[in-house]
Amino acid sequence: MASATTYRGLNRIEKVARAEAGRCGLAAMDALHVAAAFLLKADELITTEKPGKPMYRTTLVKVCWLYS
């Protein structure tokens, strides 16, 4: 990996994750991943979740299926 970024604001991640879980119906772990990607200003979040799952409802970060 050429570079990596960490985000240590756990309270902020949790706050964003809770809000997005409630808005989109995300499972806890998916909400945490979406929140972390958003807060780190990721271009996209790559997942193995198939399209149509709640993760794709988020507008915080572009969600891409690994197998598309």
Please state the pTM of the whole predicted model: 0.89
**pLDDT tens figures, 8-63:** 899 999 999 999 999 999 999 999 999 999 999 999 999 999 999 999 999 999 99
Phi-psi region of 57 (alpha: psi -120 to 50; beta: other; left: phi over 0): alpha
CA angle at residue 20 from 18 to 24, to 5 degrees? Answer: 125
Give the pLDDT of residue 47. 94
